[in-house]
């Protein structure tokens, strides 16, 4: 049975058009065709669906090259085969370069059927490939969304567990511990009035049972929800944890370079739980009685490392050892928690060389902190996670009056980073954050829609990276200035962002000191500024 084929013929000679149709029929096709020889008629025909275009190279008012360009302009994937009476090799190569699928000489028209079959098969493969890529993108999106949901659920599960622990600890403290204390008091009153020696001995034994029960309850309360974490924050909780590990046979040194670590309660809980799990891993698998916890902070990151000099392991083959199942789960759980908070977990270990696990979290310390000696003295004392108001410096008098309010779009794929920058900018009365984007494509769309004065652009972004996004923004919205932001201060990164149109570059390590000045310079210049070497 002949294969139906919808064909558009670009041919000014009816005899040559009939020749091509006859050859298609001879090759087993059942063609339905339209014949045109002008550009206007060609463009009008493109409003209809065609499976194939057969085109003469040159016609009185039209040619194959212009036809190919019009197809590209309309992004139409219709195979074009050039059928010409005379065509040079250089011209044929040029037509193929501009999108022609093949070319046939009219004196070898018998090749047309085979060429058409090949071209149609290539188009079918392209269509299948596009469908496969679309399905893959959709599936990848589903997997990423599923991963994010699972990650969020894992964090929620941990937080729910900690809330339940706190609730149980509160119930134990408010009820059971109080009942044990009251019971012991009554028992001692009864022992004081007891004259029988055997009865007194029994009451003393009961008193010891009450005392042991009360001590165990207190220990259980501390295990469930350390009071140090609730009352004084993560710094004191880590010190408490070092003492709490002594009964497990582990001596822990804690080194902290700040009096307080200012994190929201939920993040402080997750960090504390992660450090405790790492120390318990040392107890179970490290083969050592000593570990060290070090805490370092910068203007952008919180770094906590847990180091031991024990057995160590090979991280690449850890999954093959059944004996490390609990350790694997703990490390995976910690990894998911850190990812959910926009951070990361780094493991450095080798057999016989100990283990170092680093937890890195985006961190934006407050501008001022209460003195450590004042913590908890007043009912309204600041808790971890709260921020003191920062001084609002005046806007530079050099800026034009219309720039009294600077509209800013924040672009970073870490929620914590965006929140930190937003808090920093809101400390200046002239800044207004009008939107937040988590990838370069979203940043481009929001810039076109909102037209901000300033876009603060991270370099490393998903979907569309910061360099490409900056290039498009500065091209399409020249009135908007872009201030580049990156944790990497490498020269090639700075040069790439400058070449893309960024007006200034600020390292995240110095964002609190330099961001305001960089924005001001960028607005004053309204053109790319040279990067510092």
Print pLDDT tens along the chain (533 aa): 789 999 999 999 999 999 999 999 999 999 999 999 999 999 999 989 999 999 998 898 899 999 999 999 999 989 999 998 888 888 888 899 999 999 889 888 989 999 999 999 999 998 999 999 999 999 988 888 887 787 677 767 777 877 888 888 878 877 787 777 777 767 776 777 777 777 888 888 888 888 888 778 877 877 787 766 766 678 888 888 888 899 889 999 999 887 677 787 778 888 888 899 999 999 998 899 999 999 998 878 899 999 999 988 888 765 444 444 445 557 877 887 788 788 899 999 989 889 999 999 988 765 443 333 333 333 333 333 333 333 334 444 444 444 468 899 999 887 766 776 787 787 777 889 999 999 999 999 999 999 999 999 988 788 998 999 999 999 999 999 999 987 655 555 687 888 899 999 987 656 666 888 888 888 887 644 444 43
Q: What is the CATH superfamily name and number for domain 3-126?
A: Response regulator (3.40.50.2300)
CATH 3.40.50.2300 fits 399-525, yes or no: yes
Domains 3-126 and 250-371 share a fold: no
Q: Which CATH class is domain 250-371?
A: alpha beta
| Dist CA 326 CA 281 (whole Å) | 8
**Ranges of each domain in the chain:** 3-126, 250-371, 399-525
* Angle in degrees, CA 266, 272, 277, rounded to 5: 125
C-alpha–C-alpha distance, residues 14 and 20, integer Å: 10
What b/e readout covers 334-353, taking b as 16+ CB neighbours within 10 angstroms? bbbbbbbbbbebeeebeeee
Give the whole-angstrom CA distance, residue 349 versus residue 330: 16
């Amino acid at each position: 049975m002949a294969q139906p084929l919808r064909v558009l013929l670009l041919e000014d000679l009816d005899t040559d058009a009939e020749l091509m149709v006859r050859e298609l029929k001879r090759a087993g096709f059942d063609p339905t065709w339209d014949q045109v020889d002008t550009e206007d008629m060609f463009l009008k025909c493109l409003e209809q669906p065609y499976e194939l275009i057969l085109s003469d190279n040159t016609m009185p008012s039209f040619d194959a090259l212009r036809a190919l360009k019009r197809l590209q302009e309309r992004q139409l994937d219709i195979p074009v085969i050039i059928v010409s009476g005379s065509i040079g090799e250089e011209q044929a190569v040029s037509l193929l370069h501009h999108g022609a699928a093949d070319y046939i000489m009219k004196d070898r028209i018998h090749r047309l059927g085979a060429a058409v079959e090949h071209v149609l098969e290539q188009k079918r493969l392209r269509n299948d490939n596009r469908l496969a890529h679309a399905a893959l993108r959709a599936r990848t999106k589903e997997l990423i969304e599923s991963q994010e949901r699972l990650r969020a659920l894992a964090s929620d599960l941990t937080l729910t567990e900690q809330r339940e622990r706190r609730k149980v600890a509160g119930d134990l403290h408010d009820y059971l511990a109080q009942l044990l204390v009251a019971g012991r008091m009554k028992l001692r009153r009864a022992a004081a009035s007891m004259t029988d020696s055997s009865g007194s001995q029994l009451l003393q034994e009961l008193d010891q049972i009450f005392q042991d029960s009360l001590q165990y309850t207190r220990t259980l309360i501390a295990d469930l929800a350390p009071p140090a974490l609730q009352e004084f924050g993560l710094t004191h909780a880590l010190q408490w944890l070092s003492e709490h590990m002594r009964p497990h046979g582990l001596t822990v040194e804690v080194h902290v370079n700040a009096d307080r670590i200012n994190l929201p309660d939920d993040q402080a809980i997750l960090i504390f739980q992660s450090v405790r799990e790492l120390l318990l891993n040392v107890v179970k698998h490290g083969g050592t009685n000593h570990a060290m916890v070090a805490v370092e902070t910068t203007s952008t990151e919180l770094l906590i490392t847990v180091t031991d000099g024990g057995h160590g392991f090979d991280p690449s083959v850890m999954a093959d050892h059944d004996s490390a199942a609990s350790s694997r789960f703990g490390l995976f759980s910690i990894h998911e928690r850190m990812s959910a908070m926009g951070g990361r977990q780094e493991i450095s270990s080798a057999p016989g060389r100990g283990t170092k696990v680093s937890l890195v979290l985006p961190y934006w310390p407050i501008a001022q902190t209460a003195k450590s000696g004042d913590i908890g003295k007043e009912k309204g004392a600041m808790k971890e996670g709260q921020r003191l108001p920062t001084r609002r410096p005046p806007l530079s008098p050099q800026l034009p009056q219309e720039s009294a309010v600077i509209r800013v779009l924040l672009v970073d794929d870490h929620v914590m980073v965006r929140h930190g920058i937003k808090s920093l900018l809101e400390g200046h009365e002239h800044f207004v954050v009008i939107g937040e984007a988590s990838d370069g494509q979203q940043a481009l769309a929001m810039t076109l829609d909102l037209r901000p004065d300033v876009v603060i652009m991270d370099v490393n972004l998903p979907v569309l990276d910061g360099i490409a996004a900056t290039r498009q923004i500065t091209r399409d919205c020249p009135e908007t200035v872009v201030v580049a932001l990156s944790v990497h201060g490498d020269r090639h990164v700075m040069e790439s962002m400058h070449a893309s149109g960024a007006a200034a570059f600020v390292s995240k390590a110095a964002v609190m000191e330099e961001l305001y000045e960089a924005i001001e310079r960028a607005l004053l210049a309204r053109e790319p500024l040279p990067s510092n070497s």
